[in-house]
Amino acid sequence: MIKISKSRAGARRVTFSLPIGAPPGRVSVVGSFNDWTPGRHHLQPRSNGRRSTSVEVVPGTVLQFRYLGEDGHWFDDPDLPHRADGNCVCATD
């Protein structure tokens, strides 16, 4: 699940969220916002039964991303429709 909200100084906060056990183990989100570097944005457990992490971007930024689980398991966001160019979300105005 992706949530976009306004942040300080006109930026947009993009929150990436997955259920606690799907998939099991550590998961990070990797994408255009972190130069596709694994491990920079690990999803952390929350009290609502999900794991999440957030990044801040300027309005209008188009983010491409995938999730990386343990043992090198790459996967797409289950809540976004499949796209040929991978997961993509726009942090609109």
Name which residue leads in pLDDT, 82 or 7: 7
Q: For residue range 44-86, what is the model confidence (pLDDT) as tens digits?
A: 999 999 999 999 998 888 888 999 999 999 998 888 766 655 6
Distance CA 22, CA 34 (A): 23
Taking alpha carbons only, the member of 77, 73, 72 closest to residue 53 is 77
Q: Is the pLDDT of residue 17 over 90?
A: yes
Stretch among 7-16, 30-39, 45-54 having the lowest mean pLDDT: 7-16
Residue 93 has pLDDT above 80, yes or no: no
* Backbone angle region of 40, left / alpha / beta, with phi > 0 → left and psi within -120 to 50 → alpha: alpha
Q: In angstroms, rounded to a whole number, what is the distance separating the alpha carbons of residues 87 and 59?
A: 18
| pLDDT at residue 27, as a whole number | 96
What are the CA-CA distances from residue 11 to residues 50, 63, 67, 93 (Å)? Answer: 24, 14, 23, 9
What pLDDT is attached to residue 26? 93
